[in-house]
Amino acid sequence: MADVVESILKAKQIAPTAMRLLVLEFLLEQKTAVTLTNLEKDFGPADRITLYRTIKTFEKKGLVHAIKDGTIAKYALCDVDCNEDGHTDTHVHFWCTGCKKTFCLPKLKIPKVEMPSGFTIQDISLNAHGLCNSCNPDATMQ
Ligand SMILES: [Zn+2]
Ligand SMILES: [Zn+2]
Ligand SMILES: [Zn+2]
């Protein structure tokens, strides 16, 4: 496991410090996006600043993306193609009104949109709200 975590950091050109390895390991275990508060709960509030910096470094290097779904900022791992030059995995996010968790839907890519001349997009997001397959009483188990 440790080797895998380290090689992921190296592939994104991130120097593998002890904290970065631990944070990435934690992220790999998550099925839904995490907030800084989730991380603090796991690592302890003493590491708050370091955790914040670690996440910001990960974001800049294309390892995680920030999700702005109208609630507080959440972070989730990117796919392999994201790097320092930009995020290429822009996809739909789903916020469950039942368990309040945010899910990445990487198969649902946000298509390139044509902007009127003179407009530049810095950030685009598409968020769906509803019930996830654990909270939906009609969902059939897969
Ligand atoms: Zn990304
Ligand atoms: Zn749910
Ligand atoms: Zn996502």
pLDDT per residue over 72-131, tens digit each?
A: 899 999 988 899 988 888 999 999 999 999 999 999 999 888 999 999 988 888 999 999
Ligand number with the minimum distance to the CA of 84: 1
Q: How far is the CA of 73 from the centre of ligand 2 (A)?
A: 18
**Which residues are paired to 109 by β-bridges?**
91
Tell me the ligand closest to 129's alpha carbon.
2
Domains of the chain: residue spans and CATH: 2-130 (1.10.10.10)
Strands 91-96 and 102-109 come out as antiparallel
Tokens of 65: 């993306």
For ligand 2, the distance from its centroid to the CA atom of residue 55, given in whole angstroms, is 25
Instruction: Give CB contacts under 8 A, 24+ apart, made by 69-73.
Output: 69/93, 69/95, 69/102, 69/125, 69/127, 70/95, 70/127, 71/95, 71/100, 71/102, 72/35, 72/37, 73/35, 73/36
Whole-model pTM: value is 0.87
**Interval 88-103: pLDDT, tens:** 889 999 999 999 999 9
